[in-house]
Amino acid sequence: MYYEHQGPRCRCPHGARCSGVPPHGGLAAAALNSRVRPFPMDAATEDQLRGVGVVTRGLDAHIVTLLSCVHSVLPSPPVVSGHAALSAALLTPPSDGGDRISDLPDKILRDIVSRLPVKDGARTAALSCRWRGVWRSTPLVLIDSDLLPVGSGTALQDACADAHRVASAVSCILHAHPGPFRSVHLIGSYLGQYPEVLAFWLQLLAAKGVQDLVLVNRPWPLDMPLPRTLFDMATLTRLYLGVFKFPDTTGIRRAVAFPYLRELGLCWVAMLRPEDMDFILARSPVLEVLCIQGNMLVNHLDLVSRSLRCVQIIEGLDLNITVKYAPHLERLIIWSSLIQDDLPRLVKIGHAPALSLIGYLEPERHTLEIRNTIIKAGTRASPSTMVPSVKILGLRVYFYIRDNAKMLPSFLRCFPNVETLHLESKETYQPTGKLSYKFWQEVGPIKCVQSHIKLMVFYGFRGERGELSFLKYFLESAPMLAKLVIVYNKRSFTSLTEANSKVQPLFSAKWASQDCSLLLLESAFQEGEDKWLLNFKTGSDFSTRDPFACAAALGRCHF
């Protein structure tokens, strides 16, 4: 899966300038706690593994990047704060001799303790006999990063020792607290070194009713197996797993279910069989949000669920997606896709009557199928090839790959009622010709363009003729368009004056909408930077109408 970069061509979605390793110090790297290093090995072991080719040059950078990306999409833990340090001075008796804090009702004391880091919460038992049982009676919030020593070093030996001490403390806390466990985030341990500890943790978490669990392994190895005890956690409401091998579901008893699970995230989790995902969906009757980052081994995702509302995919690797039966699915978000053999993967929309947002679809990487019709260049629009419920659409197009750009009209015709279009122009390393303005003049009617689109955001603008030809056609054909936002990548142009000169040809067109405004913006990101990491958490936030519109990426512009 990880390899040394051998040449200039990279097949990732970052574009022609990608070097094969994401930029150092970017958004993803900022999410990683650098005090715990990715490799639990000393220098001699690392040299030995490099000598036999197990660890290659650049692999450590890939692992750091992988972990950084995983951490960037994990849900935020509950807010706790140790800034208000516990002190006997806080409990100094007032003039009447009473202890006002200790006289508070048990419910308020438990609320106080639940807002403290776990080590401070446990220490409250030493304050007085009144506090002795408060921590044990408070639903546990355990965030393992709160247990790291303040100011611990970054040397590999120190980091490994810190991680070991944290794992020991986690075991003690899980054993000492009677439960229930409201929220447990364990993301900093080298679980491959002590699998028996992982099994012990899962037994305690299952027995004591964990509700919110985020569990991430620090590889090595990448395929650390999860014990089947995972299936005993019937109290889960949210589960995120990172860098594990999912347990085989063959022979699992029929009674196993996740009756309260509403959100599931699988980040670089290896599944041996597609039936394992089918099992999870079938046994999670109220599951609303499914997030998959970096699918491993399994390359088919069949969505059959009465409850799913949102599916998010990031770094989908050779992944075929089929929406078979999802009557309540509102969002199908494919933030990024990877293909290893240049063969597009299937995205099939079957029964999804509530689907209102879909993207990013890429003709270069996706074969779109609506019901039983594969969409090709020139496919005629018909009721069997349309998804009329979609209002927000995201597309990525290579305007300088002729056959790729020719798919754009066919994709647009599949979604006749789109009101907001996000279109990203991708830079290509192998141009094969551009479509002229005449092609767009002769393309024929596209219903969403002629009748519904009110906002289009055009990303990655470089001022090339293929882009300008399409934009002129669009402005001349979209009478409902209220705003066109053109976003160029950071540092694409030397000045705002140059950027303005690139859009001047658009003003020679006869705009179909007299009320349309054009907004030109510089993105906060350069070509190839992983801007979708900023949007990921908004994808499953239903209070955010349009998760594709990332304010930070667009220079804090709201529309």
DSSP class per residue in 325-365: E-TT--EEEE--EE-SSSPPEEEEEEE-TT--EEEEE-TTT
Q: Are strands 238-242 and 289-293 parallel, antiparallel or unpaired?
A: unpaired
Alpha-carbon dihedral sign for residues 8, 11, 12, 15: positive
Tokens of 496: 């705002």
Which pLDDT value is given to residue 277? 94
Q: What is the pLDDT of residue 9?
A: 36
Quote the pLDDT of residue 226.
Answer: 93
Residues sharing a CB contact under 8 Å with residue 438, sequence separation 6 or more, in sequence order: none
Amino acid at 504: Q
Helix (H, G, I), strand (E, B) or coil at 483: strand
Q: What is the pLDDT of residues 17-58, one digit of tens each?
A: 444 333 333 333 333 444 455 555 556 655 655 565 555 555
Q: Which residue has the tokens 């197996």?
A: 225
SS3 551: coil
Is the dihedral angle over the CA atoms 462, 465, 469, 475 positive or is it negative?
positive
Q: What integer pLDDT is reported at residue 31 of this predicted model?
A: 38
Distance CA 124, CA 143 (A): 18
**Of 313, 309, 414, whose CA–CA distance to 354 is shortest?**
309
Q: Give the Cα separation of 275 and 298 in Å (integer).
A: 9
Residue-by-residue DSSP string for 510-533: --S-TT-EEEEEE-SS-TT--THH
CB count within 10 Å of CB 557 equals 14
The pLDDT value given to residue 71? 82
- How far apart CA 450 and CA 470 sit, in angstroms, is 14
All residue ranges of the chain with pLDDT < 70 are 1-62, 80-100, 150-159, 219-221, 431-432, 530-534, 550-559
Residue 494 makes CB contacts below 8 A (sequence gap 6+) with none
Distance CA(254)–CA(274), nearest Å, equals: 18
- Can you say whether residue 553 is alpha, beta or left, with left for phi > 0 and alpha for psi between -120 and 50 degrees? alpha
What is the reported pLDDT for 32? 42
Cα 211 to Cα 216: distance, rounded to the nearest angstrom = 16
H or E segment at 282? Answer: helix 274-282
Which of 398, 324, 501 shows the shortest CA–CA distance to 13?
A: 398
What pLDDT, on a 0 to 100 scale, did the predictor assign at position 214?
96
Neighbours of 43 (CB within 10 A): 9
* 448: enclosing H helix or E strand: helix 447-451
